[in-house]
Amino acid sequence: MNFKRNTAIGLLVLSLTVILSACGGAGEESSNGNKYTLSISGSTSVGPLAEKLADKFEEKSDINIEVNQIGSSAGITNATNGVSEIGMSSRDLKEDEKKNGLSESIIAYDGIVVVTHPSNKVKNLTMDQVKQIFTGEITNWSELGGDDMEIVVVSREDGSGSRDAFQEIVGYSSGELVRSSIVASGNGNIKTTVATNKHAVGFVSFEYIDESVSTMKINGVEPTADNVLQQKYSLSRPFLFVFKDESLSDNGQEFIDYILGPEGQKIASEAGVIPLK
């Protein structure tokens, strides 16, 4: 009887161990018990900055930070459901998302840049012209003072914070996007598509700009950090960390405080986004 009872107790302990291991939350101790793992997921625009900040923060802490770039809406959902301790968003929270108990912290600002192939002669657009391009009212670059060639619109996928922010600022809905548009996943894919297609026009975050694409003035205003902070450049949006207060650990709060401090904001500036001050 003792043997059977001990065996039963052993099996029960083993079962409980397996269950508890499978139910680990968004942040947990690693297997060696020394480092806390902070789970962050969301925007592919915020992601590169979050990774740079995480690398620096990990050098001076006992926290392991995992950053998963899956899009703003998915990151917000993960933070809501407790899959991730922190979600990353490159757009403002919607009212229904706020009702789910999410809080937000602005960690930096970003500009959205309309980009074309470097050979494109068109260098300035009005906001109305941007809308007309992306809704299919303007279909040839010659209508804008460029060469006689068809315009190929490149947009982000549904659920992208960049797409949501761009559409809201420019003033059109997903249903109005020109049907012939190329839909690309992530800023990097849009940049590559535009850089290799003379007909193309798309939009990317400031931090993705390099010599492979040409940037467009909007209403005569250059896409620069100073112009965003001075509210002269209209295509801009906040970079957010979102979380539930009751789910945010001391470690998570420590990382956010680091980002909002002088060192974190310096890293943000060096990464090509716009610091809070």
In this predicted model, what pLDDT tens digit does every residue of 152-177 receive, in sequence order? 999 999 888 889 889 999 999 999 99
Q: What is the pLDDT of residues 87-117, one digit of tens each?
A: 999 888 988 999 999 999 999 998 999 999 9
On average, the pLDDT of the chain sits at: 89
pLDDT of residue 67: 98
In which band, very low, low, confident or very high, does the pLDDT at 210 lie, cut at 50, 70 and 90?
Answer: very high
Distance (Å, rounded) from C-alpha 133 to C-alpha 217?
Answer: 15
Q: What is the dihedral of CA 163, 164, 167, 173, to 10 degrees?
A: 110
- Give yes or no for residue 143 having a pLDDT over 60: yes
pLDDT of residue 12: 43
- Give yes or no for residue 7 having a pLDDT over 50: no
pLDDT of residue 28: 58
Q: Which residues of 100-120 are buried (b: 16+ CB within 10 A; e: fewer)?
A: eebebbebbbbbbbbbbbeeb
Q: What is the pLDDT of residues 57-89, one digit of tens each?
A: 999 999 999 999 999 999 999 999 999 999 999
- Give yes or no for residue 191 having a pLDDT over 80: yes
Residues 6 or more apart whose CB falls under 8 angstroms from that of 138 comprise 129, 132, 144, 151
In which band, very low, low, confident or very high, does the pLDDT at 141 lie, cut at 50, 70 and 90?
Answer: very high
C-alpha to C-alpha distances, 186 to 90, 100, 125, 161, 253, nearest whole angstrom? 12, 26, 24, 10, 28
